[in-house]
Amino acid sequence: MTTVSARPAPQAARSYLKAPGAAASTEPLVAIRGVSMSFGPVKALIDINLDIENHEFLTLLGPSGCGKTTLLRLLGGFEHPTAGEIRLNGQDVAPLPPQQRPINTVFQNYALFPHMTVAGNVGFGLEMSGWRKPDIAGRVEQMLAMVRLADYGNRRPDQLSGGQQQRVALARALAPSPQLLLLDEPLSALDQKLRKEMQIELKRLQKESGISFVLVTHDQEEALTMSDRIAVMSAGRILQLGAPAEIYDRPVNRFVAGFIGEANILPAAALGRSGGSVAVRPERVSVVEPGAARHRGTVASIQYLGSDTLLEVDTPAGMQRARVRGSAGYEVGGTVGLDWPGDAEVELQD
């Protein structure tokens, strides 16, 4: 089982966002405790323990079927756990339906109401929670300005581009000032360039609103650029939880090492270490003269990547990849030496 330690609450926690009667400061915004979820015989989540802090951007990262979307749906209230507690400000919300949680969702493909205008969509949550008409209009205007769609209030969702629909979905979910915003693969339908822009936009909105975001994605690059913390999931469990750099530099096992970035996995014995296996990132590997090198092999393939070149080198310890600057003149079949600093070696638990 993976135990996930509670991170201390950020110093800058702004008190105005806390619900009245919020529990003592040691209690995180959301505390997920021993949550399991089964669909018939299928176990989607197994004993999940996770804290979500105030004002943080947390990403649930994993391949499809790892349980990340199920965990998000449990937070939203669309499913209810088979076992365990989900505490929001100290109160167990696991049995509550979505409309009774101060949590909003940005759905995959946005789920904008096609029969309402953009303003109608953004104001829907306010209207449902009993805001007065003039207040709604003001808030909608403010939200549309925030997502840079100020003049689009009277349009219909089908008159907007994918990126614009995405921003309407964000404005709609943020309008009622939820305590937690859930994002289900929000960028997967956008093209590469737009996705980059929206990553920056999302991060900005999260900082400006001060609301905690939980993002579900299978895109490791997205997770690395936006998150304060990443929870890497596989087969219904959280394998590792930590800051992006921590996860990248110190993956706990083979799966995490391979899923986030690329990694050469070597048997520990080949490096004179004890334990199972060791991961080395290809960009930490330098290609040197064969004579003095710790590892030697023949170049199996050369991939030119523009700024970098990726070499695959066949060594006695297995195939190793080295990512080097520029396009220095290596050739397939040539003998090269490989070397890396000691701190590039990460022991994996497996």
Q: What SS3 string covers 243-262?
A: CHHHHHHCCCCHHHHHHCCC
User: Does the footprint of another protein cover residue 220 (CB under 8 A)?
Assistant: no
**Residues 150-189 vs another protein: string with x where CB under 8 A?**
----x-x-xx------------xx--x-------------
What's the min distance (Å) between Cβ of 128 and another protein? 4
User: Does the footprint of another protein cover residue 80 (CB under 8 A)?
Assistant: no
By beta-carbon proximity to another protein, the closer residue of 160 and 190 is 160
How do beta strands 346-348 and 277-280 pair?
antiparallel
Among 4, 22, 23, 111, binds another protein (CB under 8 A): 111
What's the min distance (Å) between Cβ of 153 and another protein? 12
What would you report as the CA-atom Rg of the chain, rounded to the nearest whole angstrom?
Answer: 24
By beta-carbon proximity to another protein, the closer residue of 61 and 126 is 126
What's the min distance (Å) between Cβ of 137 and another protein? 17
User: Does the footprint of another protein cover residue 19 (CB under 8 A)?
Assistant: no
Return the amino acid letter for 165.
Q
Give 165's Cβ-side CA count (13 Å radius): 20
Among 9, 18, 47, 107, binds another protein (CB under 8 A): 107
Identify the burial level of 111 via C-beta atoms within 10 angstroms of its C-beta, where 0-12 means exposed, 13-18 middle and 19 or more buried: middle
Q: How many residues bind another protein (CB under 8 A)?
A: 28
Contact 343, 310 (CB under 8 A): no
Among 54, 59, 70, 104, binds another protein (CB under 8 A): 104
By beta-carbon proximity to another protein, the closer residue of 61 and 174 is 174
What's the min distance (Å) between Cβ of 106 and another protein? 9
Closest CA to 71 of 226, 281, 202, 233: 233
What's the min distance (Å) between Cβ of 213 and another protein? 15
DSSP per-residue codes, 253-290: SHHHHHHSS--EEEEGGGGT--SSEEEE-GGG-EEE-T
Helix (H) or strand (E) holding 310: strand 308-315
Contact 253, 349 (CB under 8 A): yes
Q: Which residues bind another protein (CB under 8 A)?
A: 76-78, 97-99, 103-105, 107-109, 111-115, 124-125, 128-129, 154, 156, 158-159, 172-173, 176
